[in-house]
Chains A and B, each alone.
Chain A
Amino acid sequence: MSLVTDKIISKPKIETRDLGLEMTENNRSLIEISNFDFFYGEKQALFDVSMDIKEREVTAFIGPSGCGKSTLLRCINRMNDLIEVARIGSGKITVNGVDIYDDRVDTIELRKRVGMVFQKSNPFPKSIYENVVYGLRIQGITRKSKLDEAVERCLKGAALWEEVKDRLDTSGLSLSGGQQQRLCIARALAVEPDILLMDEPCSALDPVATAKVEELIHTLKDRYTIVIVTHNMQQAARVSDRTAFFYLGKLIEMNATDQIFMSPDREQTEAYISGRFG
């Protein structure tokens, strides 16, 4: 599997890191967040957050609204750069050892490596086929055989192929909500990311569609590192290997999901997961 490497550095390479290093050991930290402070204008949204996110695992961020979990998720592929008042106070986030807020990082390359699936499915008003290959066309890939192969591979990867293989030319908007969300996952997979960020990917879906997306997440973790933000604690318990609980912008506790839901270390975590919060 290709990892985030010097490809995300568009300018002179950082000399202190061996950016070309391909590491294959299991459970190494792919994303490292160190003493990270983040602000929206004067309001501080994240306080001194430090955590390691392991490769090829599912990590869930949980916590009440406004706790900073989505903010942190969006920091991992610099989506917050699009918000004018957003700024980092201190600390850093590295992906495969690369400081992603280094001036020389190409954010387009970063977002190819760190894909994102949003709360509300957002297929483009194009055919199913064109939705999947959109990122590849932007990369300049035009050969039909390569695009065809990518469409089949990604739709299979997103557990959607069997449902749409006979109607690839129909609009992505004609699909059900759950299918649209899986189409967006297929689109994210097409550019071969290493990391998938999911911001409440099931919150708009019914239980059956939710179950399909959860099954998909379970399958995808063999190949991808997944970070999922969810309000649904049972979903975090079902799909994730590790869980991080946030409150008021602070990381309260992060541990193996079994540990968090069976015997959390912190009283605040226990109060939240058992519904005694507030």
Chain B
Amino acid sequence: MKRYFHEELEEIRSHLMLMGEKAVESVKLAMQALLESDIELANQVMESDDVIDDIEKQIDDEVVRYVSLRAPVARDLRLLFVAIKASHDLERVGDEASNIAGRTKKILAQGLPIDAVARVPRMCELAINMLEDSLRSFIQEEESLAYSIVGRDREVDTLNRENFKELVELMKSDPANVSACTEMVFISKSFERIADHAKNIAEEVFYLLTAQSLKEVTRGE
């Protein structure tokens, strides 16, 4: 039997999906701003962070209200906990996109060796794919998709480490590169963090769908 207040759960779900779309869009635009040296786009990404923060606040309020008034149990209750945790991850993704945009603006003011961005588009692509897949696993309720995302951050981690070494070499080769390359170290780290948040969301979706911890399920595999 569907109760009238179950629509409120659908609202929370749809707000989480909306937040996911906004976060993915911000990451894509931040990458585009860096690759195309587009300061206006970077500004746009930084401004949109407030929108993402507002949705997180809205989800928090809706979850607290639902828990207070509707006495949810089982999967409904898991959905609410996951909404809180996943929305926090998405808020952090928005922050990382905003950080990338901010550092892009600093780099554009200084100039950057072309080699310094070599691996970043691939990192961005991997992180966005993970993020989109984790959100798809939530929308389509596919536990196998959520399961498959874990482990995919290793390539991003590897690229980040390689990036770091290369950026250090660039800084050693010409001290004039230090400032811009330092910004790139942080940008690279931001993409690595975005992949981590995508993995977190996948783990949260897996818990929502199975009531099991993905970490425990994969332990020993």
Contact = CB atoms under 8 A, between A and B. Distances in A.
A215 interface: yes
Interface string B53-92: 0000000000011001111000000000000000000000
A257 B69 contact: yes
A274 to B, nearest CB: 10
Contact of B5 (A212, A238, A262): A238
A234 B65 CA distance: 13
Contacts of A261: 68-69
B70 A237 contact: yes
B4 A215 contact: yes
Interface string A205-218: 00010011011001
A258 interface: yes
B70 A238 contact: yes
Contact of B71 (A208, A212, A218, A237): A237
B9 to A, nearest CB: 14
A262 B64 contact: yes
A234 B71 CA distance: 7
B65 A258 contact: yes
A237 B68 CA distance: 8
Contact of B1 (A211, A238, A258): A211
Contacts of A211: 1, 3
Contacts of A262: 64-65, 68-69
Interface string B30-48: 0000000000000000000
Interface in A225-278: 234, 237-238, 257-258, 261-262
Interface of A: 208, 211-212, 214-215, 218, 234, 237-238, 257-258, 261-262
Given A215-B3, A262-B64, 17 more contacts: A208-B1, A211-B3, A214-B3, A215-B4, A218-B4, A234-B70, A237-B68, A237-B70, A237-B71, A238-B69, A238-B70, A257-B69, A258-B68, A258-B69, A261-B68, A261-B69, A262-B69
